[in-house]
Structure 1
Amino acid sequence: MAAAFPFSAIVGQDEMKLAILVAAVEPAIGGVLVFGDRGTGKSTAVRALAALLPPMWAVEGCAYGCDPEQAGGCEQCAALKAGGRLRRKRIPVPVVDLPLGATEDRVVGALDLERALTQGVRAFEPGLLARAHRGFLYIDEVNLLEDHLVDLLIDVAASGENVVERDGLSVRHPARFVLVGSGNPEEGELRPQLLDRFGLAVDVRAPQDIAERVEVIKRRDAFERDPAAFIERWRREDARIRRRVTAARARLAEVVVPDVELERCARLCVALGTDGLRGELTLMRAARALAALDGDAAVGTAHLRRVAAPALRHRLRRDPLDESGSTERVERAVAEVL
């Protein structure tokens, strides 16, 4: 496996990095969509996440990596628990790529042909959704994904469960993951049904500052010349971010969201005319995760301001009388309401 560029070595793109960390702290937010120009570090940041996150406990012998504290969530764990053979082990948090050309069988899983032909056993071979359970499912060029896979992802993301009924198989297994997508808006828009499944949306652009562009080039060149030395150079900073994420996860349940901040969430969403209540929920969860990252005991207005744009910019209705972009509309509403 190729070495990943260190997360802490990524130059600029602060909103994208913050959105990824917030989603790592609070998976209930629903994932991150990163849209922008080519060559702006979208894929680099997502792949760096795998090396950044602390390992997690999983049931040994479970194909889905279920949580030992919640064992019994799948048939394999139930069988292990019934037999008194439930053991646990540490595994890396999965960050699974879903290629554009992937077949439905590869995504959801299918009949294990090798075992069927050699042993005459009708067994299930887990797919990418099973591998992504409790981790991250990454789709590059998500706006080019085939419609039938989009429908499938919407169903699984909503239920947290993958159901396979085919080839004489009837399998149901947990598939709860954080969906991370990236793409170039010039190549097509994302279907609204899938767009709504992303908790946070980030726009990235190539830096215009000359010094920043030069620093990007220098770091990338140094990484490609000697990956091991470059990773070692940034190891301590990555470790610091890892400790920060671990501490935020432990602190998250204790962070308080005062009613006055919930009212501000609602007022902001009403001012922007967002559909439904998912905007308020995402804004509240993102602000709480940010407060946990910052080490704060309660959510404040400053937290809401920092996550308002990524939480709401993709939920706005198009206004034919307002030619400003979604980011500008959110920033204007934040200035007026908060």
Structure 2
Amino acid sequence: MTSPFPFTAIVGQDDMKTALILTAIDPGIGGVLVFGDRGTGKSTAVRALAALLPPIDAVEGCPVNSARIGDCPDWAGIKDERIISRPTPVVDLPLGATEDRVTGSLDIERALSRGEKAFEPGLLARANRGYLYIDEANLLEDHIVDLLLDVAQSGLNVVEREGLSIRHAARFVLVGSGNPEEGELRPQLLDRFGLSVDVRSPTDIEQRIEVIRRRDAFDRAPETIMAEYGPQNDALRDRIVSARAALPEIETTENILRDCAELCVALGSDGLRGELTLLRTARALAAFDAAPALTRDHLRAVAAMALSHRLRRDPLDEAGSAVRVGRVVDDVLA
């Protein structure tokens, strides 16, 4: 099986890569929505993330990747607490997936062959403690969107049908991608993404040539590209691990909290999710930079990705949402 394209070999798209890295440092940020042109590396970046992330420790055979036997659900029937190391799960949610496929359902094979009523886990079980990736998230069916909203809020998947009463942990980072020309995302789901970034096709000729060069080299001899960028991937992985360890120690002053609140009030964002996401994202960036304290520079760096998708529409302002956030940041944090 061919390895994914190396994360550090992706040319440009810095905002997208930064957003993915920050959610790897602090999954509590709430996921990433990547909107943009076709063929700009959205799917490539998410799949490259799987190979980049540190492995997790999980109970062998546990269908929800539990870290200890006490967290493994009873219906799984796991008796031996043997801890193994496995890659961080990155699970694709296909557009045509049924609700049974997503949440899990009655194991028909065991029911017919043995007469046993057993649960067959779905995609949400596999994604626990990892990433759930939705390509073309704006084209998801409404009932699947409603289901994801419930699970994303509670961190628990509950299945009550076909004589089954099952619940299990389902905490994952939601990553969605899509093309805005093919339809908008429902506001309820949009609000569940912690970060939002736009990607565009590069216009610089030299950058486009470099994209072609690296992709062509990978398609022809993937082991060569892996050998070239493997050390960079390893260094980035070590930096993410160090940032995770440093995250609780990042100093956050009262002035920074005030800055977060003033920014969101000035932007007119609804609720308090904007402030909380901005704070967590900036703190993850500070940890990634090995900074001892959270500063206004960190807030400036992440404000657009944390707040741009939370703005109300302004028909009198033709500027993009990121531009509007930038103007407010300049005013509030002058």
* Residues 1:105 and 2:100 are matched in the alignment: yes
Residues 62 and 77 of structure 1 are in contact (CA less than 8 Å); yes or no, is this contact kept in structure 2?
Answer: no
Pair 275,86 (structure 1): closer, same or farther in 2 beyond 3 Å: same
Residues 72 and 78 of structure 1 are in contact (CA less than 8 Å); yes or no, is this contact kept in structure 2?
Answer: no
Residue 17 of structure 1: aligned partner: 17
TM-score normalised by the chain length of structure 1: 0.96
Residues 62 and 76 of structure 1 are in contact (CA less than 8 Å); yes or no, is this contact kept in structure 2?
Answer: no
Residue 304 of structure 1: aligned partner: 299
Residue 67 of structure 2: aligned partner: 67
Residue 133 of structure 2: aligned partner: 138
Residue 34 of structure 1: aligned partner: 34
Residue 191 of structure 1: aligned partner: 186
| Partner Cα separation in structure 1 for residue 75 and residue 293 of structure 2 | 37
Residue 292 of structure 1: aligned partner: 287
Residues 77 and 86 of structure 1 are in contact (CA less than 8 Å); yes or no, is this contact kept in structure 2?
Answer: no
Task: State how 1:120-159 maps to structure 2 within 5 Å.
Answer: 120-159=115-154
* Runs of 5+ consecutive residues of structure 2 not aligned to the other structure: none
| Partner Cα separation in structure 1 for residue 265 and residue 205 of structure 2 | 40
Residue 174 of structure 1: aligned partner: 169
Note the C-alpha offset of 1:89.
1.0
Note the C-alpha offset of 1:2.
3.8
Residues 62 and 76 of structure 2 are in contact (CA less than 8 Å); yes or no, is this contact kept in structure 1?
Answer: no
Note the C-alpha offset of 1:87.
2.4
| Partner Cα separation in structure 1 for residue 15 and residue 24 of structure 2 | 14
Note the C-alpha offset of 1:230.
1.2
Q: Secondary structure at the residue paired with 2:74?
A: helix
Residues 75 and 119 of structure 2 are in contact (CA less than 8 Å); yes or no, is this contact kept in structure 1?
Answer: no
* Runs of 5+ consecutive residues of structure 1 not aligned to the other structure: none
* Residues 1:239 and 2:243 are matched in the alignment: no
Note the C-alpha offset of 1:227.
1.1
Residues 2 and 222 of structure 2 are in contact (CA less than 8 Å); yes or no, is this contact kept in structure 1?
Answer: no
Q: Which amino acid aligns with 2:125?
A: A
**Which 4+ runs in 1 deviate beyond 6 A?**
none
Q: Secondary structure at the residue paired with 1:110?
A: strand
Note the C-alpha offset of 1:25.
0.6
Q: Secondary structure at the residue paired with 1:156?
A: helix
Q: Using the aligned pairs only, state the percent identity.
A: 66
Pair 179,217 (structure 1): closer, same or farther in 2 beyond 3 Å: same
Residue 6 of structure 2: aligned partner: 6
| Partner Cα separation in structure 1 for residue 267 and residue 200 of structure 2 | 24
* Residues 1:87 and 2:87 are matched in the alignment: no
RMSD value, Cα: 1.3
Note the C-alpha offset of 1:78.
9.9
TM-score normalised by the chain length of structure 2: 0.97
| Partner Cα separation in structure 1 for residue 250 and residue 114 of structure 2 | 53
Residues 23 and 31 of structure 2 are in contact (CA less than 8 Å); yes or no, is this contact kept in structure 1?
Answer: yes
- Which stretch shifts more, 153-162 or 116-125? 116-125
Note the C-alpha offset of 1:151.
0.3
Residue 46 of structure 1: aligned partner: 46
Residue 322 of structure 2: aligned partner: 327
Pair 77,290 (structure 1): closer, same or farther in 2 beyond 3 Å: farther
| Partner Cα separation in structure 1 for residue 315 and residue 181 of structure 2 | 21
Task: State how 1:194-233 maps to structure 2 within 5 Å.
Answer: 194-233=189-228
Q: Secondary structure at the residue paired with 2:314?
A: coil
2:74 corresponds, among 73, 76, 99, to: 76
Note the C-alpha offset of 1:253.
1.1
| Partner Cα separation in structure 2 for residue 305 and residue 79 of structure 1 | 49
| Partner Cα separation in structure 2 for residue 145 and residue 232 of structure 1 | 38
Q: Which amino acid aligns with 1:72?
A: G
Q: Which amino acid aligns with 2:112?
A: L
Cα deviation, 1:47-72, whole Å, max 9, x if unaligned, reads: 0000000111112231111122xx53
Note the C-alpha offset of 1:77.
9.3
